[in-house]
Amino acid sequence: MAVQTKARAAGDLRLKNRKRPSYRVDLPAYHADCDANYLRLCKLLPQLAERQQWRYRVPHGSLELEVVERSRYTTEVNLSALSADDQRWLALPCITVRLYHDAQMAEVVAVDGKGPLGEKAPGVQHAGARMQGADERQQANRFLGEWLGHCLANGRVEFELVLDGRQL
């Protein structure tokens, strides 16, 4: 009986000491998500070089897109959703996306002002302490893709009508 217990304990110890396989990024899938998000955002952001802000009405609320920063090869945009009624049963995130025009890719760089994703947050000893999962970046970009797809399928542009200098 004691021999069986020692053997079982040794077997359990070997299982505990065995390293888990490390997470590997599926780079082709990640790039495909970023490429698709860039194309979706180009449809939602007409006249990106001239305009600063867009607003779309979607079922149960609206989506606001605002340019935060522009440079020669990149543009950073904030996406925020507003609920039509103030009864929010689910917090709607504010997502910051960087568009890389030369590579034609769009990547989520922050969610609710916390980012960049996958890097150390202030006061955190290691990046994994803040991250919920190893594939947090990929999940954020996939969520963005689903959200943008919903907006393209169901959104209606809001605009101001100005006639002879008067807003109608």
In sequence order, what are the beta bridge partners of 95? 79, 111
* pTM for the whole structure: 0.72
pLDDT per residue over 120-158, tens digit each? Answer: 444 444 444 444 566 888 889 999 999 899 888 888 776
For the chain, the residue count is 168
The per-residue pLDDT for range 53-87, each reduced to its tens digit, is 998 888 878 889 999 999 999 999 999 987 777 65
* Domain assignment of residue 107, yes or no: yes
Could you tell me if residue 42 is inside a domain?
yes
Tens digit of each residue's pLDDT (9 = 90 or more) over 12-52 = 556 555 666 676 778 899 999 999 999 999 999 988 888 99
Q: How many domains does the chain have?
A: 1
Asked whether residue 17 is domain-assigned, the answer is no
Residue 81 falls inside a structural domain: yes
Looking at the domain assignment, is residue 160 inside a domain? no
Task: State the residue range of the domain holding 142.
Answer: 23-119+128-155
| Domain assignment of residue 106, yes or no | yes
49 part of a folded domain? yes
Q: How far is 99 from 41, CA to CA, in rounded Å?
A: 9
Let me know if residue 2 belongs to a domain: no
